[in-house]
Structure 1
Amino acid sequence: MAHNLKLKKPLAVFDLETTGINIQKDRIVEISVVKALLNGEIESKTFRVNPGIPIPIESSLIHGIYDEDVKDCPTFKNFAKTLAQFLTGCDLAGFNSNRFDVPMLVEEFLRADVDFDIKNRKLVDAQRIFHMMEPRNLAAAYKFYCDKDLQNAHSAYADTMATFEVLCAQIDRYEGVKIKNENGELYEPIQNDMEALHNLTASKIVDFANRMAYNAKGEEIINFGKHSGKRVVDVLTQEPAYYDWMMKSDFPLDTKRKLTEIKMRMAFGRK
């Protein structure tokens, strides 16, 4: 299968099957990646994973993967470096990926002590495009854009291939289509350009758990609790113990890393 995406980097479209939806406590049981290359070709890899914890029956009934299926599979840590190498230099895409798949993947890499930096990657979420342009789930998107029924839904490979085809079809359908923004002005949100799609679907992420966000001025603010709406730099300045509390509490490693980056930036005088 070939593609018509205009790429400056390879684009890795991926999907996860997991033990549940808690980024901190749950684990990956399957990951499938379809990598679109600059020459128009694609390649794919699928990994079954021993999560190291029991798979709840309610999760197994969704994706069809049971403890017995993964008991002899490698743990994520066993192949994390291989996976990171396969994703080297790639932008990332998925379906609801910025809210779940990317945060879960980043957390697994952090637990495995593998450096997986996403700062220089574009993040494209086909669900955001779908909900913006045709407000509905992946099976409906696949039927709408590709006129196909999604077979083996919740198989990582089937979902990944469907997401890849949906993304390509979205770009074909919407490139050049004008819609109104919040000010009633016409603009063209969808372009065959990963940076533009990143800006559309992922540009306002501070940490994947959304414990911090950006205000209208582009400054990081606390997004929960008693300090909600306050600038992170102000909270850390006025209540230094807040940093230690967050670092010792049950927050995702990614959130703690981003908070530390802000703290270090303050230490070097860059607010």
Structure 2
Amino acid sequence: MMEYVALDLETTGLEPSKDRIIEIGAVKVRNKEVVGEYGTLINPQMEIPDRITELTGISNDMVQGKPLIAQALGELLDFCEELPLLGHNLMFDYSFVKHQAVNAGMVFEKKGMDTLKLARALLPELPSRSLQNLRMHYEIPQKDAHRALEDARTTYLLYERLREEFEEKQPKLFVPNALIYKVKKQGPVTAAQKRYLQDLIKYHRIELNVEIDSLTKNEASREIDKILSTYGKIVR
């Protein structure tokens, strides 16, 4: 029995150690049929960059009142159970979830299949193997590009089309492989960092685009360094 979870995220940027998840979409598949879905917007506790809103349509107003990452992550891990993951450029999504899971003290070790890797191996003649170009190649309908649940559904349909066309001749390509991504836990912002940030903000009369309490120690250090390099130290 073939069973897996197709996963897709929308994020504030490309770096899992600096950027944050703003939407999760997951589709549970058993024997080629969808048996469950999980999708939610997430309040990243920071301003969503304009370029991300333009790309995804997800605005700051849309995420207000939505779950924080810790709650959504727990729900996602429960939804995924022990099943392998499917994704398009899967390590991107896996790295973001892994970072958040490690910071929250949760275990997230998975096997997975990647439709991008499959397409590169099986469809080398195509000029582009982006999810949307592959969707159009196979005439897979989709409502909203760059929205997590819709992209997860498209990834599942793409994978099944690739299986149908190529699995009999190249079965090894469709076997889930262990996803290897090492992450060190990042502790939360310290009380001293929090006080210093608050003093810098007050002194320079500026506003942060992120909630201080949501920062890790590393993120707080970067914010402090950014303020000091831009505005200078506090002069008494």
TM-score normalised by L of structure 1:
0.61
How far has the Cα of 1:249 moved from its partner? Answer: 8.3
Secondary structure at the aligned position of 1:114 is classed as coil
Aligned length: 182
Q: Which amino acid aligns with 1:160?
A: A
Decide whether aligned partners of structure 1 residues 138 and 72 sit closer, same or farther in structure 2, where only a CA change above 3 A counts: same
- In the TM superposition, residue 19 of structure 1 has moved relative to its aligned partner by 0.6
| C-alpha distance 206-46 of structure 1, shift in aligned 2 (>3 A) | closer
Q: Residue type matched to 2:123 in 1?
A: E
Aligned to 1:263: none
Corresponding letter in the other structure for 1:139: Q
Amino acid at match of 2:76: L
Percent of residue pairs bearing the same amino acid type: 25
The Cα of 1:110 is off from its aligned counterpart by 1.7
Residue 56 of structure 1: which of 39, 49, 61 is its match? Answer: 49
Q: Confirm whether residue 207 of structure 1 aligns to residue 181 of structure 2.
A: yes
Moved more, 107-116 or 53-62: 107-116
Any conservation in 2 of the 1:176–1:190 contact (CA below 8 Å)?
no
Match of 1:124 in 2: 113
Q: Is the partner of 1:60 in helix, strand or coil?
A: helix
Per-residue CA deviations over 1:40-99 (Å, capped at 9, x if unaligned) read 54210101100111111111111110111101111011232222111111111110012x
Map residues 62-81 of structure 1 onto 2, 5 A cutoff: 62-81=55-74
Gaps spanning 5+ residues in structure 1: where? 1-5, 178-187, 210-247, 251-271
1:215-245 CA-to-partner distances (Å, cap 9, x unmatched) read xxxxxxxxxxxxxxxxxxxxxxxxxxxxxxx
In the alignment, the residues of structure 1 paired with residue 131 and residue 23 of structure 2 have an alpha-carbon distance, to the nearest angstrom, of 18
Query: What is the deviation of 1:207?
Result: 2.6
- Tell whether 2:161 aligns with 1:169: yes
The list of structure 1 runs, each at least 4 consecutive aligned residues, that deviate by more than 6 angstroms after superposition, is none
Question: What is the rounded CA distance, in whole Å, between the counterparts of 2:44 and 2:57 in structure 1?
Answer: 15
| Matches for 1:87-236 after TM superposition, within 5 Å | 87-98=80-91, 100-116=92-108, 118=109, 121-135=110-124, 136=128, 137-145=130-138, 147-177=139-169, 188=170, 196=175, 198-199=176-177, 206-207=180-181
Task: Tell me if the contact between 1:143 and 1:150 (Cα under 8 Å) persists in the aligned partners.
Answer: no
Contiguous gaps of at least 5 residues in structure 2: 184-216, 220-236
Larger relative contact order (CA 8 Å, sep ≥ 6): 2
Cα distance in 2 for partners of 1:122, 1:111 equals 20
